[in-house]
Amino acid sequence: MVAMIIAGITATTVHAIRFENSPFDGLSSRIGVKIVDSAARRWESIKNWRVRVDCESPKTLLRAYMGLIADAHDPKLLDRAVASFSYAASVNSGEHMMDLVRQAYDRFMATDTSLRVRETVKAQISRFSRDCHKFLWEAGAVTSEPNTELIDFLLERCSFPHDFPAYATFMSFTEKNRDLRKLGTLPVDECIAKVLCTYDQNGRLGDRNLIFNQAVFHSQSLLRERKENDVARILLHVDPLSVIRSFLRCQYESSFLSLKHLLSFIVRNRELEVLHCVNKFLKNPLSNIRYDVVWRVLHDIAFSQIPFPDGFDPSPIIRFASQYSYPDPTNLEIGLIYLNRSEPSNLSDPAAVFDFVRLCMETELPAQYHLTYPRKDIREQAEEALQRLSCLEHGPLPAFPLLPVNSTVAE
């Protein structure tokens, strides 16, 4: 009975507060109205004081998120927030917010954060790479092309060899490197192998030295650690001759020594295949040919003691040796090895051969080069070659060959 009475009083009071001119209007309802009005005015002043956030705008929310992360002092907050960190979201927002992205990244990677947070942020690089390959209608797809600043930021933070596919994806957004995009979908080993072959194609290519350098460095590191089986497993994904052709045309700017051991590994046990490949390549050499790579391959084959096949014509190699041997007499010796181990009747360019032999028999270079070499052994091999070539018909020996433009000349 008491509960029913209290409920009745409450109901009539609420009715009097809610409705003006209520038949239940009384002292208690008028006091209640004043309390509600006062609370409403206070709430309105609080609403005016608060910072307004457009909760319906993803761009605004993303900026707020990045800003809060950059200013966060509590590592536990970062543990909860790291799962929402996304490069794709910043690209899809259509706004330039690299400063916020960089600040948020630096805060996540600070020393006071947990290992889980740092590893999660690192994993976002490969995740963003995969998002770049999604169709537009797929969840998480990148809907616009990343800007140059973000690409440079990501390239600097890739970890090798795990991030090779991601690195290829990001490089594909740079000028004339679109063909690298498909490499970003491959497993790590296959991606490395395809990168090693990247210069074995016609057409103008963009600057891809960075990724080519990383592929070579990784392969060389495996060889130094005596992990030859790992390198062999990488090369199973491609034609080794394609790697050789790529090296012959590469624009690699670092020291040739970084290519040396990998070249020798590829040539080993496939000398004849590589010999035919290089000989064919030298018939019509390109302007961007790497002379140091050619000489290294020819050196490894020459000193492997393999018998040359019947009918082998070394004329392209001899022509190359006569034009690009200065100032290293070792290269002349390599050319003589190919000449003396081939049948004279197979030579298709006797003029180039006799030009080369004459060069080998010179005891001193022309005076303008001021270079003299003790080349007794080379002279003896050249005389031996000349005797073997006596069966060939030839005219007067050609004039002394000119040095290539890029040769080193002592002043």
pLDDT digits (tens, 9 = 90+) for 345-381: 888 888 888 888 888 877 454 444 444 444 557 777 7
What's the confidence (pLDDT) of residue 73? 87
- Whole-Å CA distances, 320 to 32, 170, 233, 252, 390: 104, 39, 34, 21, 22
What's the confidence (pLDDT) of residue 401? 41
What's the confidence (pLDDT) of residue 271? 92
What's the confidence (pLDDT) of residue 356? 87
Maximum CA extent, the chain: 135
In this structure, what is the dihedral angle of CA atoms 271, 283, 263, 183, given to the nearest 10 degrees?
-110
Positive or negative, the Cα torsion across 345, 347, 348, 354? negative
What's the confidence (pLDDT) of residue 11? 55
* CA angle, 190 then 124 then 142, to 5°: 85
What's the confidence (pLDDT) of residue 75? 87
Ranges of the chain whose pLDDT falls below 70? 1-37, 39-57, 136-137, 139-140, 252-258, 325-328, 363-376, 391-411
What's the confidence (pLDDT) of residue 350? 86
Inter-residue contact 198 to 229 (CB < 8 Å): no
* CA angle, 378 then 381 then 385, to 5°: 135
What's the confidence (pLDDT) of residue 8? 55
What's the confidence (pLDDT) of residue 31? 60
- What proportions of the chain, in percent to the nearest 5, are helix, strand and coil? 60, 0, 35
Domain spans in the chain, listed from the N-terminal domain onward: 2-49
Q: Residue 98, class by beta-carbon neighbours within 10 Å (0-12 exposed, 13-18 middle, 19+ buried)?
A: middle
What's the confidence (pLDDT) of residue 408? 36
Query: Could you please report the per-residue DSSP string of 316-362?
Result: HHHHHHHHS-TT-HHHHHHHHHHHHTS-GGG-S-HHHHHHHHHHHH-
What's the confidence (pLDDT) of residue 116? 93
What's the confidence (pLDDT) of residue 54? 58
Inter-residue contact 88 to 142 (CB < 8 Å): yes
What's the confidence (pLDDT) of residue 170? 94
Token pair 């090369």: residue? 235
- Whole-Å CA distances, 151 to 180, 383, 408: 14, 60, 39
Which pLDDT tens digit goes with each residue over 121-177? 999 999 999 999 887 667 667 878 888 999 999 999 999 999 999 999 999 999 999
Residues with Cβ within 8 Å of 200's Cβ and at least 6 positions away in sequence, in order, are: 242, 243, 245, 246, 249
Inter-residue contact 231 to 222 (CB < 8 Å): yes
